[in-house]
Chain A
C-alpha cells in the first residue's frame, strides 16, 4: 500500500494532469480511478529546466510535432508515424524528442494502454551503442538522457496499468545492457505490477463493456455478492400491462430478502430510493433500492444466571420453543441495516419512475406480499430531479413525498 501512496504523491507533484477526476480513497477500498492518462514529459525531469508555465509544445520541434498532427487519430496512424521516423536515417537522430512527443500524444490516439505501441516506441532507440563497455560507464549513468527517456516511458506504462513482457525486457537489455536503470525499473515493475493487478477481491474486467445492459448486470451482480443466495434477473417492462416505457430492468434479490418481504407489516410503506451511483472503472451506473424501515434488533436474552450450564437447551428434543427468546431464533441478515432493510436492488434502462413502477410490479410475482404494501417513490435524488411532475403515475398506492 505504500507504493500506492507513493504513486499518488508522485501524481500530485510531478505529472501534468489534464481534466482529471481523481477520487482519493483509503487504502482498503478499490484503488483510485483515474479517468485520464497521466503523462510524463521531458520538462519534468532533472535534466531539463523546470518552468511551471512552460507550454510543453514549445519544447518539441515542429518536425516532430508534424508526425502526430494527422486528422485521423488511431493506432495504425501512430504505428505508421513511428515507422516514418525510421526513414529519417539509420542513426535515429532525435529519437528522445520523438519518444517524448509520442508519449504525450498517445492518449489522443487512444493507444495509451496498448503494450505493442510502447514496445514500438522503445524499439526506436539504437541497439548496442549505449551498452557500457567499462567500469566508469557502468558506474555513471551512461547516456543519461536516453536512459531517463526509457524510464519515463516505463513510468507512463506503469501509471496506465500496462504490464510489460519479456520482449520489452529484451529491447531494453539490447539497448542499455543488463545492469542499467531501465532494466532495473523493468524488474521492479514485473515484481510489483502483477501482484497489484489482481489484488482486488472483486475485480472488474480490464475494459468494461460499453453496453448499458451488460454494465448494469455487472453492477447489480457485484452488489449482490454480499448474499450468496441472491440471483440477478433481467426483466422487460413490456411484460407489465400499462407500462409506458419499454426498457430492460436488471433486478437483484436474494431468498433472504424475499423472506423479509413476506414478514413485513402491511400498513407501513416502503420506499424506492435512488438513483445511487456505482462506478465500474470509469463507467457510471445508476441503481435504485427498495427499502423498508429498520426493525429494532432482537433483545438480548434475559437469563437469571448467565453461566448456568445446567440449563442447556437445544433443539433436538423440542425443548426450545421457537417463540422463546434465544439467539437461534432470528438471525439478523446482512440486509437489515440501521438505516433500513434493503429488499432489492435494480438498474433500469431509462431510470424513469415508470420503469421503477414496472420493477415493483414484476417483483410481486416472487414476493406476493409486496402487492399489499404501499410503495413510495422519493422525489429527491442525489443527482437532481428524476422526472417531470406531469408524468406522475395514477396508481393509488403510489404517492410522492417531499423529502
Chain B
C-alpha cells in the first residue's frame, strides 16, 4: 500500500465507470440526467431554475492581478421567453418616444406635459424594477438597461423616471420590510405616487455622511420628528413619497452619543413638508429640481428603512445599484445623434465632396463608434453579472460604467454638434439640447472625481487585505525563499516593462482576438505592479487628499481594463455565434484595446516615475500658489519693469 494514498471501494467503482463508460442507470430509464442544468424530455432549459453561481468581485481582484476568466464569457441572462417579451415591450415605448414626446417643447417650457407623464405611467415605466406581485414589471438589470436606452431619448423624462424608481423607491425594494413594500410599492408602480431621493443638503453634497437634517425619537418610541432641508431634489416639487436621510443619535457602548445616518420613508401628507420653486437649469430642464424643507415632520417608527443608524449603507447600496444603466442610456442617445450627424455628413458637400470624404470627419465617427461599443459592452456586462450571479458586488464596476459613459456622452455629443458646424449650434436642431442634457451626467449620481477616488480606494482597500500578507513575507525573506525569488524576478521584469504574460486569456476568446488578449494581459500585469507601487509608496496615507492624483491614475487604468475586458468578451461572443457584421465588431474591439493600452502604459509609467518625475508635485505647487493668490498669478504680458 502506498503511504498517504488508499484506494477504497468508491474510487474503484468510479474508475471502472470512467473506463467502460458504464451508465449508472438501467436501460429502461432514459439516461437523461446528463447535466444538472437540463431537465428530462424535450423542454427548454430554463435559466431561472438553476442556482446562480457565486463569484468574487471582478475589478477589485484586478487590483491584485487576479483575473476571473468567467467574465470573458459575455453573459446571456435572458431565456427565449423573457427575451421576446422584452423586445415586444420595447416597440410601443419606442413609438411613444418618437411620436408623442416633443423634446424641444419640454426643454423650452421646462415642464413635462401631464399627458406625457400619463403615457409613461400607462406603459408601466414607473414600476420597471418593482416585483410583479406589487404591480410592477419585475424587470431585471439587463431589461432595465435596455429600456433605459429608449427613455433617455429625452433627458428630462429619463431623470424624472430615474429619480422615481432607480433611487427614490429603490430603498424600499432593497432594504424595506414586507409591510413597507406592501404598503407603498403598488401605488408607486402605477405612478399614482411619485418618489424622490433626499440626501443632498446645502452643506453636504459629495460628503454624504455629514448631513445635518436631524430626526429625534419621541418619548414613546413611536414617532420620529424630522427637521432640516435638502437641495437639488429631482421630483421634489410634487413627489408624494420621499426617501429621506437624516442623522439620528445613537448611544455608544461607552455612554457617548454618536451621530449616525438613518433612512426614512416620508410621505408628503404627513405635514410639514414644503418645496421651493423649481431650479432653472442648463439641461434636463423637463425634470423638476427644487429644495425640500422638513419642518417638524412626524414620521412613524415603522417607516425606518433598514436599521436605525444603518442609513449610510442603504444610501450607498441604492446609488450603486442604479449607476450601470447610464452606459446603455448613453449608448442609446449617442447612436441616435450619430445617425443624424452621419446623414448630414453624407449629404452636405463642401469643396465639391461630401463631408464624409474627409478624414477628420471620418475619425470622429470612427472613435465615436468605438466609444459607444465600449459603453454598451460595459453596461450589459455589468447588468449580466448583476442578473447572473448570487449576491453580486458590482459597486466598482457600476461606478466605472458611470464615469466612462458620462465622459463619453459629453465629448461625443459635442463632436456630433461639431460635425454640423453652425447648424449644430442653433436651437432649430436638437444637438445643443443633448449636449446640455449630457453635462449633468458628470455631476449627479456621484461626481466623476468622487467616483474615481471611490474606484481607486475600494480597489486599494481590497488589495491591501491580501498585500498585508505579501508585506509580511517580504519582510521575512529567509523563511520564504522561493516566494522572494519569484517576486524578485517579477519585479525585475516589471522594471524593464516586460512582465510575464501567464494569465492565458487568449484561450477564453476567439483566436481573432489574440492580439487584444495579449494587450489586456500586459495591462493587467502592469496595473498590478502600479497598485503595489502606490501602496508601498504611501501606505495608509493613500487616502490623503494630497495623494489623489495617483489614486485617480489607478482608477483610470482600472476603467480602461474593465472596458477592454467588456469589449473583448462581447466581440468574441458575437463572432463565435455569427452575429451580422461581427468582423466590424472585432475591429472596434481591437482598436479600443490598442488605444486603451497606450493610456494604461503612460499612466503606469507616471506612477512608476513617482510624483516628482511625473509632474504631480509641480501641479500641486502651481495650484497652491494660484489658490493662495485668489486668482491667476502670472502678471500680464504687457507689464514692463523699465524703460
Contact = CB atoms under 8 A, between A and B. Distances in A.
Interface of A: 119, 123, 127-129, 131-135, 138, 165-167, 170-171, 173-174, 177-178, 193-199, 201, 203, 228-229, 255, 315, 328-331
A170 B38 contact: yes
25 contacts: A119-B42, A123-B42, A127-B30, A128-B29, A129-B27, A131-B23, A133-B22, A134-B20, A134-B21, A135-B21, A165-B44, A166-B45, A167-B44, A170-B38, A174-B41, A193-B578, A194-B577, A195-B577, A197-B578, A198-B579, A201-B581, A228-B354, A229-B347, A315-B351, A328-B352
A229 B349 CA distance: 11
Interface string B578-589: 111110000000
A197 to B, nearest CB: 6
Interface in B11-68: 20-23, 27-32, 34, 38, 40-45
A221 to B, nearest CB: 15
User: Which 4 residue pairs spanning A and B have beta carbons closest together?
Assistant: A128-B30, A194-B578, A195-B578, A198-B580
Nearest to A227: B346
Interface residues of B, number: 35
Interface of B: 20-23, 27-32, 34, 38, 40-45, 342, 346-347, 349, 351-354, 356-357, 576-582
Contacts of A178: 34
Given A134-B20, A134-B22, A167-B42, A174 B352 contact: no
A228 B356 contact: yes
A119 B43 CA distance: 12
Interface centre among B21, B27, B32, by most chain A C-beta atoms within 10 angstroms, is B21
Nearest to A201: B581
Contacts, number: 78
B31 A132 contact: no
A174 B32 contact: yes
Contacts of B577: 194-195
Contacts of A203: 580
Contacts of A135: 20-21
A328 B28 CA distance: 81
Nearest to A119: B42
Given A127-B30, A167-B44, 18 more contacts: A128-B28, A129-B27, A133-B27, A134-B20, A173-B32, A173-B34, A174-B40, A177-B31, A193-B578, A195-B578, A198-B578, A198-B582, A199-B578, A203-B580, A228-B354, A315-B351, A328-B351, A331-B353
Contacts of B40: 174
Interface centre among A119, A128, A129, A199, by most chain B C-beta atoms within 10 angstroms, is A128
Contacts of B576: 195
A153 to B, nearest CB: 15
Contacts of A331: 352-353, 357
Contacts of B351: 315, 328
Contact of B41 (A138, A170, A315): A170
A167 B580 contact: no
A310 B342 CA distance: 37
Given A119-B42, A173-B34, A329 B352 contact: yes
B580 to A, nearest CB: 4
Contacts of A171: 42
Interface centre among A170, A171, A198, A255, by most chain B C-beta atoms within 10 angstroms, is A170
Contacts of B38: 166, 170
Contacts of A166: 38, 44-45
B346 A229 contact: yes
B369 to A, nearest CB: 15
B346 to A, nearest CB: 4
Nearest to B32: A174
A322 to B, nearest CB: 8
A229 B581 CA distance: 22
B581 A133 contact: no
B353 A174 contact: no
Interface centre among A119, A133, A178, A196, by most chain B C-beta atoms within 10 angstroms, is A133
B42 A128 contact: no
A204 to B, nearest CB: 12
A229 B347 CA distance: 5
B32 to A, nearest CB: 5
A129 B25 CA distance: 12
B50 to A, nearest CB: 14
Contacts of B21: 132, 134-135, 138
B42 A170 contact: yes
Nearest to B29: A128
A177 B353 CA distance: 63
Interface centre among A134, A174, A330, by most chain B C-beta atoms within 10 angstroms, is A174
B76 to A, nearest CB: 12
Contacts of B349: 255
Contacts of A128: 27-31
Contacts of A165: 44
Given A129-B27, A198-B578, A199-B578, A229 B354 contact: yes
Contacts of B45: 166
A239 B578 CA distance: 46
Contact of A174 (B30, B44, B579): B30
A83 to B, nearest CB: 15
